[in-house]
Amino acid sequence: MNSTSSNVIPKAGYGVYALTPADTQKGVSLALEAGYRHIDTAQSYHNEKDCGRVIEQSGLLRPDVFVTTKITPRNFATGMMTASVQRSLEDLRLDQIDLVLIHYPYPWDQIPMEVYLTQLAEVHEAGLAKMIGVSNFNIRQIEFAQEFLGDIEIATNQVEIHVFMQNRPIVDYCRSVGIQMTAYCALARGNLFGVPEADLGPHPVLMEIANDHDATIAQVGLAFLYHEGHVALATTTEKDQIKSNYDAINLSLSDADMDRLRGLDMNKRIVETPYFPIFD
């Protein structure tokens, strides 16, 4: 399969984090059927092969499907990255990956950023990736990467963003320098729908806006991110939910809706790992 022709990242992305091979094949197939044209995977998800198989068998033309994968830090050491991306290409059954990201900075800088950014640039220059970007980078790390990579554009920074964690400092910085933000955990891993163990339902603001638009809470959460200008990734393997999530791309929110949703920001980070950087 040949490369896509566009440098635009489709706003609605289907993510395959934590999906088994069987669920990946089911989910990607249903996502493409529903209208998704952006599939987001990673080397560490161990399902690139499953994504590639479904995309190849979908009957869609290569320019119509945008594929993102992420390089695991295990492949950051000198001389390892290019070979790892070539394996990803084989697994994804592609000649070129649309977007290749650094999954997250090497923990505690035990491998200096220069080492893996040099290799990321080589991956791009060799044509293995049409675009490159980063994930889980804070402002200091983005600034360093921009200066180091020079004329090579950072296409996106993929970080946790949802109505309860709007990550404004890094969002505002990236917006100011023209870097697209991609939101993972777009639905706060189910927290938008309430916290059953605490006997808490959805936030009243989310419920009211969803009711006003005859929409679901998930659609409101995703539409909020689209209106903020972000790419948003959602994951489910339920056919009706996949279609409903995809349809959020067409949900129009008012300025008043957006102001109310912005007011839900609690800086509530869902993904807490000791080796991810502290966001600004």
pLDDT digits (tens, 9 = 90+) for 103-153: 999 999 999 999 999 999 999 999 999 999 999 999 999 999 999 999 999
> Letter for the amino acid at 230?
H
Q: Which pTM does this prediction carry?
A: 0.95
Q: Quick one: pLDDT at residue 2? A: 36
Decide: 221 and 192 in contact? Cβ < 8 Å.
Answer: yes
Q: Quick one: pLDDT at residue 268? A: 86
Task: Return mean pLDDT, the chain.
Answer: 94
Q: Please give the domain boundaries of the chain with CATH numbers for all domains.
A: 12-262 (3.20.20.100)
pLDDT in tens, 171-190: 999 999 999 999 999 999 99
Task: Give the CA count within 13 Å in the CB-facing half-sphere of 268.
Answer: 15
Indicate whether 236 pLDDT > 70: yes
Catalytic residue among 14, 45, 106, 226: 45
Phi-psi region of 14 (alpha: psi -120 to 50; beta: other; left: phi over 0): beta
pLDDT in tens, 19-31: 999 999 999 999 9
- Could you give the 3-state DSSP secondary structure of residue 10? coil
Indicate whether 278 pLDDT > 70: no
Residues linked to residue 231 through DSSP beta bridges, in sequence order = 182
CA distances to 42, 167, 185 from 182, in Å: 14, 12, 10
Q: Tell me the helix, strand and coil percentages in the chain, rounded to 5.
A: 45, 15, 35
Q: Which of 50-64, 181-195, 227-241 has the lowest mean pLDDT?
A: 181-195
Q: Which of 78-87, 104-113, 266-275 has the lowest mean pLDDT?
A: 266-275
pLDDT band (50, 70, 90) for residue 4: very low
45 included as an active-site residue: yes
pLDDT band (50, 70, 90) for residue 194: confident
Q: Which of 116, 97, 115 is nearest to 42 (CA)?
A: 97
pLDDT band (50, 70, 90) for residue 199: low
